[in-house]
C-alpha cells in the first residue's frame, strides 16, 4: 500500500501522526527512557477505544505492518521503542485512560490500559484501597505496560508482582479479534489460565486494552525505618530476622549501596545525608498497620535496639515529611544514574542465600576488567531483585561501552552458577535478547516461539523483541 493511502486509512480510524509530519513528537515516542534505542517509525497512532485498536490491528495484519504496543514508555530494555525494521507503527494507548469501575465488595478495579498507576492509586485511596504496585515511575507508567512486562516494584514482598494481581484481561489479538480472559473471581479453576500468558509477553502476543486488577485495603498508618549497615552479611541477617518476626507488617524492604547517596547529592536530588557516617549498605523498610500504630511503632523501635550489633545507625521517621524524604531519595536513584553519565544497567535476581557470594565474585571480576568502576547497587531485597548498575570510572580514557559484552559474560555466567535470572522485572525487549538466548533453557525458548507463532503467525506485534 502506498504511503499516502496508508496514512489516510489510519487517520480515518483515529489520531495518527506520521513521522514526517511532526518529527519532534515522533522522536519523543520513538526513544526509550534511557535514550539507548531510537529508530524511525512510520508514525504514532492514538486509539480511543478497544474497537479502534481492533481496526488498527486488522489493517496492520492485512498489510504486514509491525505494531509496537506502547504505554508510558518507561521501560529500560527497549521493549516499546522501534527496531531497525522500517515498517513499524507505534500504537500508543495513553488516550485509553478511563477507570471503568471500582468494585469494593470484590476488591477489584476495572480500567483501561492507558491509566497511569499513580492516578489509579489516588482514586483508590479516596475509597480506602490501594493499587498493588509501587515503583519509581508510577507517575508515568501505565497499567497495560506494567502487565505486558509483569512489573514488580517495591511492594512485591507483600502483594506480589503484576501477574499475582490480575483477575481478567481484554486483549486484541494479531488478527484483530477481541479476546476476554478471566473474570472477577479470585478462584476460577476452569482450564488453562490464558491471561497469564499475556502478562510478561511484552506486547508480542496481543494488545492489552483493559484489565481487572486486585486492590488491597489501605493501611491506617505506617512507619519508615532507615538503617545503615556495614556489610552485605549484616544486611541479609537483618532482612531474615525482620521477615521472620515482623512479616505481617512489612510492605517493602529496599537495600541501597553507599554510592547511591553520593550520586543523589552530586546531582542535587538529595540535599542532605541522613546518617552521620558512611557505611557500605543501607536498608529502607516500610511497615504498615491496620490497628493501633503507636504500639506497633514502639515495638519496632525496641526490636532494632536489640539489633545494635548489626546496625550502625537506626532512623525511625518522626513524621510524614521525614518518611516522604526517605522514599523520595529511593525513588531518585534511577534518575541519578541516568544523569551521571555512561551506565551499564543489569536488572537481575539472585536467591538471598547466594547474594553475598554473587556480589563478591562479580565485583572482583569486573573491577579486574575495569579498575575503579562505580557500583551503583540497589534493589528490592524482599524479592531478591538487584539493580546492578555500573557507572564509568572518573576520567576514563577508553570507550566504556566496549567493555559491555565482556561484563555481560561475567554477570551471565555467575547468574547461571548461582541460580539467578538475567531479568527480574524489566523484561527482555531488545536489550537482553542475546542474554535471554544464552541463559534460558533452549526447550523453553522453543515452546515460547511456538506460542508466539500461534498467536501472531505473521509476526506483526512488537517484532524484534524478546526473540
* Whole-number pLDDT of residue 10: 96
CATH topology of domain 341-443: Alpha-Beta Plaits (3.30.70)
Contacts of 187 (CB under 8 A, 6+ apart): none
Q: 188-209: b or e for each residue (b if 16 or more CB lie within 10 Å)?
A: eeeeeeebebbbbbbbbbbbbb
Candidates 3.40.250.10, 3.30.590.10, 3.30.70.2190, 1.10.3720.10; correct CATH number of 221-334?
3.30.70.2190
Q: How far apart are the first and last CA of the chain?
A: 28
CATH topology of domain 99-217: 3.30.465
- Which letter does DSSP use for residue 192 in this model? -
Q: CA torsion sign, 350 to 354 to 360 to 361? A: negative
pLDDT tens per residue across span 3-60: 789 999 999 999 999 998 888 888 889 888 777 788 889 999 999 999 999 999 999 9
CA distance 239 to 222: 18
Chain center to CA of 71: 12
pLDDT tens per residue across span 101-145: 999 999 999 999 999 999 999 999 999 999 999 887 888 899 999
Query: Which candidate, 467, 400, 344, 409, places its Cα nearest to that of 83?
Result: 467
Taking only Cα atoms into account, the Rg of the chain, rounded to an integer number of angstroms, comes to 23
pLDDT tens per residue across span 365-424: 999 999 999 999 999 998 899 999 999 998 898 999 999 999 999 999 999 999 999 999
Is the per-residue pLDDT at 299 higher than 80?
no
Candidates 3.90.1150.10, 3.30.43.10, 3.40.50.11540, 3.40.47.10; correct CATH number of 3-92?
3.30.43.10
Q: How confident is the model over 280-308, as a mean pLDDT? A: 75
Is the per-residue pLDDT at 294 higher than 70?
no
pLDDT tens per residue across span 57-72: 999 999 999 999 999 9
Contacts of 182 (CB under 8 A, 6+ apart): 166, 167, 168, 169, 188, 193, 195, 212
H or E element at residue 198: helix 195-198
pLDDT tens per residue across span 346-364: 999 999 999 999 999 999 9
Amino acid at each position: 500500500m502506498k504511503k499516502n493511502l496508508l496514512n489516510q486509512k489510519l487517520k480515518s480510524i483515529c489520531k495518527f501522526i506520521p513521522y514526517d509530519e511532526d518529527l519532534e513528537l515522533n522522536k519523543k515516542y520513538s526513544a526509550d527512557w534511557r535514550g539507548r534505542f531510537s529508530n524511525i517509525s512510520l508514525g504514532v497512532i492514538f486509539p480511543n477505544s478497544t474497537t479502534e485498536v481492533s481496526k488498527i490491528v486488522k489493517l496492520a495484519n492485512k498489510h504486514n505492518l509491525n505494531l509496537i504496543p506502547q504505554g508510558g514508555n518507561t521501560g529500560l530494555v527497549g521493549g516499546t521503542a522501534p527496531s531497525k525494521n522500517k515498517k513499524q507503527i507505534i500504537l500508543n494507548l495513553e488516550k485509553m485512560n478511563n477507570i471503568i469501575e471500582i468494585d469494593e465488595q470484590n476488591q477489584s478495579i476495572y480500567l483501561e490500559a492507558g491509566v497511569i498507576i499513580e492516578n489509579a492509586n489516588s482514586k483508590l485511596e479516596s475509597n480506602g484501597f490501594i493499587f498493588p504496585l509501587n515503583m519509581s515511575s508510577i507517575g508515568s507508567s501505565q497499567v497495560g505496560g506494567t502487565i505486558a512486562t509483569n512489573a514488580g516494584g517495591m511492594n512485591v514482598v507483600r502483594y506480589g508482582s503484576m501477574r499475582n494481581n490480575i483477575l481478567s484481561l481484554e486483549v486484541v489479538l494479531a488478527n484483530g479479534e477481541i479476546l476476554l480472559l478471566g473474570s472477577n473471581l479470585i478462584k476460577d479453576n476452569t482450564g488453562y489460565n490464558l491471561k497469564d500468558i499475556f502478562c510478561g509477553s511484552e506486547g508480542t502476543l496481543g494488545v492489552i486494552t483493559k484489565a481487572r486488577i486486585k486492590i488491597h485495603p489501605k493501611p491506617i498508618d505506617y512507619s519508615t525505618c532507615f538503617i545503615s549497615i556495614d556489610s552485605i552479611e549484616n544486611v541479609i541477617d537483618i532482612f531474615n530476622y525482620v521477615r521472620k518476626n515482623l512479616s505481617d507488617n512489612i510492605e517493602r524492604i529496599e537495600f541501597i549501596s553507599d554510592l547511591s547517596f553520593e550520586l543523589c547529592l552530586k546531582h542535587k536530588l538529595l540535599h542532605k545525608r541522613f546518617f552521620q557516617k558512611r557505611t557500605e549498605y543501607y536498608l529502607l523498610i516500610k511497615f504498615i498497620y491496620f490497628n493501633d500504630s503507636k504500639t506497633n511503632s514502639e515495638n519496632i523501635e525496641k526490636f532494632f535496639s536489640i539489633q545494635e550489633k548489626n546496625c550502625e545507625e537506626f532512623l525511625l521517621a518522626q513524621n510524614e515529611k521525614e518518611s516522604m524524604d526517605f522514599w523520595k531519595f529511593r525513588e531518585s536513584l534511577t534518575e541519578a544514574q541516568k544523569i551521571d553519565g555512561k551506565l551499564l544497567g543489569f536488572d537481575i535476581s539472585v536467591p538471598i542465600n547466594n547474594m553475598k557470594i554473587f556480589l563478591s565474585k562479580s565485583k572482583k571480576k569486573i573491577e579486574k576488567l575495569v579498575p575503579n568502576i562505580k557500583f551503583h547497587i540497589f534493589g528490592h531485597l524482599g524479592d531478591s531483585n538487584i539493580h546492578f548498575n555500573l557507572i564509568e570510572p572518573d576520567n576514563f580514557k577508553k570507550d566504556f561501552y566496549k567493555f559491555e559484552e565482556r561484563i555481560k559474560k561475567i554477570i551471565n555466567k555467575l547468574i547461571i552458577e548461582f541460580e539467578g535470572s538475567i531479568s527480574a522485572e524489566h523484561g527482555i525487549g531488545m536489550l537482553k535478547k542475546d542474554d535471554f538466548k544464552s541463559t534460558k533453557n533452549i526447550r523453553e525458548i522453543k515452546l515460547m516461539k511456538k506460542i508466539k507463532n500461534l498467536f501472531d503467525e505473521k509476526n506483526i506485534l512488537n517484532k524484534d523483541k524478546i526473540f
